């Protein structure tokens, strides 16, 4: 799989002028543009990393160039082309940042309604913690935690996604009113999951991860993390399409913090634009992650809001269109200002 890594990113009037003068090409349909491209060979070991002007990409890379330049299709019925804010609602006793806060269905429902009122485009409800080292949860218990919350929020007009890797939970959550499936295993954990998503024609987020939450720390070694994440996600995309899921219904998540160390997280975030080789909307989930704590010196996850905003805005600059966050009001405000600075 030939890959193009967009470099020399431009925004605003500079991007428009550079595209008009054929000095740059649109990134994911614009308004951002890229003036340079790193060429990454088709095989994992064939990676010269040559950098060329965006307008001088050789013919062998034409399919990759077309995907990088094209705007992703509309997704999940959300308005506009993004960026969109996905609020995190963990109905768990043990999530790394907010475990226990929303374990009660009433508290979880109130929090979801507050996120919606604050401007969240989606509320992502999860009942199983997947923090590093967390233990698996039975789907029955997962459903007991989340289904009442999904039903109430969906009935109130909230667009709900469900954070699960279990096919039975996916099926039950969709029946309860969830709109989107968000699977950290990219539909690899449960053999029945892809069939559930395909049958429902549900939009889905495929996240990159190696191993499981219990073992992923042992799989954080990469020769070229950005290229390998893209290629491994491409394999999961191909499997999803083979199961009958339309590519237009798929968004991708590089899995910051999942089978990545601090150095890998930073490099992957810095090179996020390479994910546009997949032709899908890109979700960035950086909120309150451990690497932000290490960079900032803040040990308490709930106090990492400013660092999370800095990382989220960096993701937007590199073409992310979905931000998965804990701090919804603050992120919505930041995104509105960012949109004002970067009008479409």
Sign of the C-alpha dihedral computed for residues 27, 32, 37 and 41 taken in this order: negative
What pTM, to 2 d.p., does this model score? 0.94
Three-state SS for 74? coil
Tell me: the pLDDT tens digits for 210-233?
A: 998 889 988 989 999 999 999 999
Residue 137 has pLDDT above 70, yes or no: yes
> What gap in Å lies between CA 176 and CA 169, rounded to an integer?
10
pLDDT digits over 48-98, tens only?
Answer: 679 999 999 999 999 999 999 999 999 999 998 889 999 999 998 755 555
Residues of the chain with CATH 3.20.20.20: 84-341
Residue 235 pLDDT: 98
Residue 43 class from Cβ within 10 Å (0-12 exposed, 13-18 middle, 19+ buried)?
exposed
Q: What's the CA gap between 74 and 81, in Å, rounded? A: 7
Contact 284, 312 (CB under 8 A): yes
Q: For domain 84-341, is the CATH number 1.10.630.10?
A: no
Q: Which residues are catalytic?
A: 289, 324
Q: What is the pLDDT of residues 141-197, one digit of tens each?
A: 999 999 999 999 999 999 999 999 999 999 999 999 999 999 999 999 999 999 999
Contact (Cβ atoms closer than 8 angstroms) between residue 157 and residue 184: no
pLDDT at 46: 56
Q: Distance between CA 231 and CA 102 in Å, rounded?
A: 36
Cβ atoms of 109 and 115 within 8 Å: the answer is no
Per-residue confidence band for 344, with pLDDT thresholds at 50, 70 and 90: confident
CA distances 333 to 113, 118, 216, 287, Å, are: 17, 9, 34, 15
């Amino acid at each position: 799989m030939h890959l193009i890594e967009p470099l020399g990113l431009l925004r605003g009037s500079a991007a428009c002028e550079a595209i008009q003068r054929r000095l740059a090409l649109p990134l994911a349909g614009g308004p951002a543009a890229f003036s340079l491209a790193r060429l990454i060979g088709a095989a994992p070991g064939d990676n010269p990393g040559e950098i060329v002007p965006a307008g001088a990409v050789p013919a062998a890379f034409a399919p990759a160039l077309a995907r990088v330049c094209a705007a992703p299709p509309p997704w999940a019925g959300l308005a506009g082309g993004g960026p969109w804010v996905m609020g995190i609602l963990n109905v768990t006793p043990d999530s790394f940042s907010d475990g226990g806060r929303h374990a009660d269905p009433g508290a979880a429902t109130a929090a979801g309604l507050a996120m919606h009122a604050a401007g969240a485009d989606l509320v992502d409800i999860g009942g199983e913690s997947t923090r590093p080292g967390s233990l698996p949860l039975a789907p029955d218990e997962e459903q007991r935690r989340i289904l009442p919350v999904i039903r109430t929020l969906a009935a109130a007009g909230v667009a709900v996604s469900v954070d699960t890797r279990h096919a039975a939970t996916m099926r039950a959550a969709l029946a309860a009113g969830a709109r989107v499936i968000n699977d950290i295993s990219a539909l690899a954990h449960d053999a029945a999951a892809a069939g559930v998503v395909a049958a429902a024609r549900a939009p889905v987020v495929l996240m990159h991860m190696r191993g499981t939450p219990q073992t992923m720390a042992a799989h954080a070694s990469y020769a070229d993390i950005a290229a390998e994440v893209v290629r491994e996600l491409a394999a999961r995309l191909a499997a999803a399409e083979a199961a009958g899921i339309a590519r237009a219904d798929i968004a991708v998540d590089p899995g910051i913090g999942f089978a990545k160390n601090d150095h890998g997280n930073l490099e992957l975030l810095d090179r996020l634009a390479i994910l546009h080789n997949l032709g899908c909307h890109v979700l960035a989930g950086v909120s309150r992650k451990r690497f932000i704590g290490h960079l900032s010196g803040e040990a308490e996850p709930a106090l990492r809001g400013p660092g999370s905003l800095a990382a989220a805005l960096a993701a937007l600059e590199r073409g992310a269109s979905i931000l998965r966050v804990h701090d919804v009001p603050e992120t919505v405000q930041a995104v509105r200002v960012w949109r004002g600075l970067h009008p479409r």
